[in-house]
C-alpha cells in the first residue's frame, strides 16, 4: 500500500466516523425536540381540561359569577 492510498483510506474512514457522529447528534436533537413537544402538548391539554372543568355548567357558583342567565329568565334591559 502506498502512502497516498493509506492517506486516502484514513481520510475516508475519518469522514465516515464524522458522518456517524453527526447522525447521532442529529438524532439526539430530534428526540429531544420530540420529548419537548410531547411535554408541551401534555401541559396544554392539562390546562385545557382544567379550564373546561373550572367553568362547567353543573357548577352553580361559577355560573353565577360568569353572569349567565338560565333559560326563561327575562333580561334586565
Per residue, what are the HEC states of 36-61? HHHHHHHHHHHHHHHHHHHCCCCCHH
Domain annotation covers residue 21: yes
Q: Would residue 20 count as lying in a domain? A: yes
Domain count, the chain: 1
pLDDT at site 5: 93
Q: How confident is the model at residue 73, as a pLDDT?
A: 60
Q: Is residue 7 part of a domain?
A: yes
pTM strictly above 0.85: no
- pLDDT at position 16 is 97
Using the predicted structure, report yes or no on whether residue 42 has a pLDDT greater than 90.
yes
* Whole-angstrom distance, CA of residue 71 vs CA of residue 74: 9
**Rounded distance, CA 14 to CA 43, Å?**
43
Domain assignment of residue 73, yes or no: no
Task: Provide, rounded to the nearest whole percent, the portion of the chain with pLDDT above 70.
Answer: 70
Q: Which domain holds residue 7?
A: 3-66
Q: What is the CA radius of gyration of the chain?
A: 31
Residues 46 and 54 sit within 8 Å (Cβ to Cβ): no
The answer to the question of residue 74 being in a domain is no
Q: What is the pLDDT of residue 9?
A: 96
pLDDT of 1 reads 86
Amino acid at each position: 500500500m502506498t502512502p497516498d492510498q493509506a492517506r486516502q483510506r484514513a481520510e475516508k474512514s475519518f469522514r465516515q466516523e464524522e458522518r456517524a457522529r453527526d447522525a447521532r447528534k442529529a438524532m439526539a436533537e430530534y428526540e429531544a425536540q420530540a420529548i419537548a413537544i410531547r411535554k408541551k402538548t401534555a401541559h396544554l391539554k392539562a390546562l385545557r381540561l382544567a379550564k373546561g372543568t373550572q367553568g362547567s355548567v353543573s357548577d352553580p357558583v361559577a355560573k353565577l359569577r360568569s353572569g349567565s342567565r338560565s333559560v326563561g329568565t327575562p333580561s334586565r334591559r
